[in-house]
Amino acid sequence: MAKFLPFLFFLFFIVSQAKQNDTVSISFPLTSSVSPDVKARTSNPSLVSVSKHVPRRQPRARSSSSSYNYKTTFKYSMALIVALPIGTPPQTQQMVLDTGSQLSWIQCHKKAPRKPPPTAMFDPSLSSSFSVVPCNHPLCKPRIPDFTLPTSCDQNRLCHYSYFYADGTLAEENLVREKFTFSRSQSTPPLILGCATDTSEDKGILGMNLGRFSFASQSKISKFSYCVPTRRTQPGVSSTGSFYLGENPNSHGFRYINLLLAIPVQVFRPDAGGSGQTMIDSGSEFTYLVEEAYNKVREEVVKLVGPRLKKGYVYGEVADMCFDGNPMDIGRLIGDMTFEFEKGVEITVEKHRILADVGGGVHCMGIGRSNMLGIASNIIGNFHQQDLWVEFELTNRRVGFGKADCSRAA
């Protein structure tokens, strides 16, 4: 399931072979201005508010009384799966940690006579803090820009929503209010969530972008961070990473870049559909580049390992830098790959982790063409965030990175 992020960096990018160390370097002079909201994972990005999100107005500062300090772990294979306590008393729900989504939603049990709810689903009847959102709520007005399709009134006079993603996933049902209960002394107020009963997914979504209905915005957290461990290659085996809401004791070593900067219009202007944004996205597995950037990276790869490319092979209809053969040998020929940001901040993908196992003995670079997703934005997915702390500091509007062994991160 591919989903995407919030914090936009509008860019003009250059791809070049690094001087001395055989590193493929992708340079992002990140400069930007506020733009319309985009949801990279949706089939109609222009309709969704803040999904690679920058809101139209500056967010209010989070007061210290609204801060949370909560640490948990998540499971990682292709997505970051966090288990969070929801309701009163709390029921543990598995959710995909997604910095590219706005609306959080949970899997709700649809009542059936004499049939107990599956343990993975949320049972609203067991929570005293659960409530539905009626049709007369302002959120339920037609054409509200925060959803991929307009909200509507169902036959029970409850607010119905539909949320489409670019990979074809559809989440729909009713909007509700429910709280996250981290401990007896620490819980959120009731938040707007989706309560999905008709969905092809077996997990919910924790929407963490800057949209006004994301978990991050509604709960008024000041910051959050996660550390993606190295992905296991064995089928069915997950790695364990760390997730913080609030202060992270490791942040003293992070290097930060601003979320929003000024860019000369003539250099690169994102359009109304979101073209030109660059997102750090926990919910997307691979990295996706706009056509010009992808082609330049591919040209460099062809120079280095062209004869080893798997001819005529395109993985997932988006990635064609794929290989048969020993991935370590191919990785050594390609070298390290570095994403360069402002202020000297870099994300380096080391040569031994540059290829992703896509099955059948085939390995791909983990980079796809964003236009094949129907978007014109750049997305840095979780495959290229392995062994890296990523912290979104919302109060100061910046994002920090710190190298780590995420399988052992505290």
392 in a structural domain: yes
87 in a structural domain: yes
Residue 221 pLDDT: 92
Residue 410 pLDDT: 66
Residue 200 pLDDT: 63
Question: Within this chain, do residues 274 and 210 fall inside the same structural domain, yes or no?
Answer: no
**Cβ-proximal residues to 292 (8 Å cutoff; 6+ apart), any chain:** 13
209 in a structural domain: yes
50 in a structural domain: no
Question: Within this chain, do residues 239 and 261 fall inside the same structural domain, yes or no?
Answer: no
Residues marked active site are found at 98, 281
Where in the sequence is the domain holding 185, given as residue range(s)? 69-246
DSSP conformation class of 370? G
Of 54-58, 322-326, 346-350, give the lowest mean pLDDT range. 54-58
Q: What is the DSSP string of 286-325?
A: SEEE-HHHHHHHHHHHHHHHGGGB-TT--BTTTB--EE-S
Task: Note the pLDDT tens digit of each residue in 9-43.
Answer: 323 232 333 333 455 555 443 322 223 233 333 32
Over residues 275-290, the mean pLDDT reads 83
Over residues 338-349, the mean pLDDT reads 85
pLDDT of 236 above 80: no
Tokens describing residue 27? 């340079």
pLDDT of 217 above 80: yes
Which of 246, 279, 300 marks a domain boundary? 246
The answer to whether 40 and 373 have CB atoms below 8 angstroms apart is yes
394 in a structural domain: yes
Angle at 120 between CA 118 and CA 123, to 5 degrees: 65
CA distance 301 to 286: 17
CA distance 261 to 47: 24
pLDDT of 203 above 90: no
4 in a structural domain: no
300 in a structural domain: yes
Residue 66 pLDDT: 53
pLDDT of 333 above 90: yes
Higher pLDDT, 144 or 173: 173
Give me the half-sphere count of Cα atoms (radius 13 Å) on the Cβ side of residue 122: 33
Question: Within this chain, do residues 224 and 344 fall inside the same structural domain, yes or no?
Answer: no
Please provide the average confidence, as pLDDT, over all residues in the chain.
76
pLDDT of 267 above 50: no
Residue 279 pLDDT: 83
Task: Note the pLDDT tens digit of each residue in 50-105.
Answer: 223 333 333 333 333 357 889 999 999 889 999 999 999 999 999 999 998 888 99
The answer to whether 247 and 71 have CB atoms below 8 angstroms apart is no
Over residues 231-247, the mean pLDDT reads 85
Domains identified in the chain, total number:
2
pTM of the model: 0.78
List Cα–Cα distances, 121 to 60, 106, 202, 220, in angstroms.
34, 8, 9, 26
Q: What is the DSSP string of 92-105?
A: EEEEEEETT----E
Task: Note the pLDDT tens digit of each residue in 97-115.
Answer: 999 888 899 998 765 544 5
pLDDT of 232 above 90: no
Beta bridge partners of 7: none
Q: How many CB atoms lie within 10 A of CB 184?
A: 6
Q: How confident is the model at residue 274 (pLDDT cuts 50, 70, 90)?
A: very low
Over residues 329-353, the mean pLDDT reads 89
> Is the alpha carbon torsion for 21, 23, 26, 31 positive or negative?
negative
CA distance 275 to 161: 26
CA distance 32 to 262: 5
CA distance 371 to 291: 7
CA distance 147 to 151: 7
CA distance 285 to 319: 12
Q: What is the DSSP string of 177-195?
A: EE-BEEETTEEPPPEEEEE
Question: Within this chain, do residues 154 and 294 fall inside the same structural domain, yes or no?
Answer: no
Looking up residue 90, the CATH number of its domain turns out to be 2.40.70.10
Residue 264 pLDDT: 33
Question: Within this chain, do residues 347 and 396 fall inside the same structural domain, yes or no?
Answer: yes
Which of 225, 246, 267 marks a domain boundary? 246
Q: How many CB atoms lie within 10 A of CB 244?
A: 23
Percent of the chain with pLDDT over 70: 71
Over residues 365-378, the mean pLDDT reads 84
